[in-house]
Amino acid sequence: MKNELSLHEAIVVALINIDKKTFSATFNEIAAYIDNRNLYGERKGNITLAKQVMLRSTKAKGAYSYLFHQIDDQTIQLKSYPLIKKKPTLKKVIVDCVNLSAYTQDKKPIAKLKKNEQIV
């Protein structure tokens, strides 16, 4: 199965849908959400999805620090300012995430995201 979302995009979808008030969740909750909805199906190696979520959101040489804030050892939160100009593709992801109730319930995407799609 080809991934429609990258892992950090799937994490954003999970955080928006798990807790709609604080946009926070544990790595295990995020991994379960992603796995149940097949948002990121292709994994490499013997690393659990929860561990991959932790590594992508907190490590990754700071590449995603504009998106995620680590609350404690097991919990991250979506930052309140992820819509910055130098990452326009994520704006579409977040806008789509807000309207993904059909996607998350039916497990069918309402729109396919294209890698590096620009928002006008």
Query: Which CATH number belongs to the domain containing residue 21 in this structure?
Result: 1.10.10
| Highest mean pLDDT (candidates 11-15, 44-48, 113-117) | 11-15
Do the domain assignments include residue 2? Answer: no
Give me the domain span that covers residue 51: 7-106
Do the domain assignments include residue 119? Answer: no
Contact 58, 68 (CB under 8 A): yes
Q: How far apart are CA 65 and CA 76, in angstroms?
A: 11
Do the domain assignments include residue 120? Answer: no
Do the domain assignments include residue 43? Answer: yes
- Domain tally, the chain: 1
Encode pLDDT of 43-79 as tens digits.
778 899 999 999 999 987 778 888 898 999 999 999 8
Do the domain assignments include residue 88? Answer: yes
**Which pLDDT belongs to residue 36?**
92
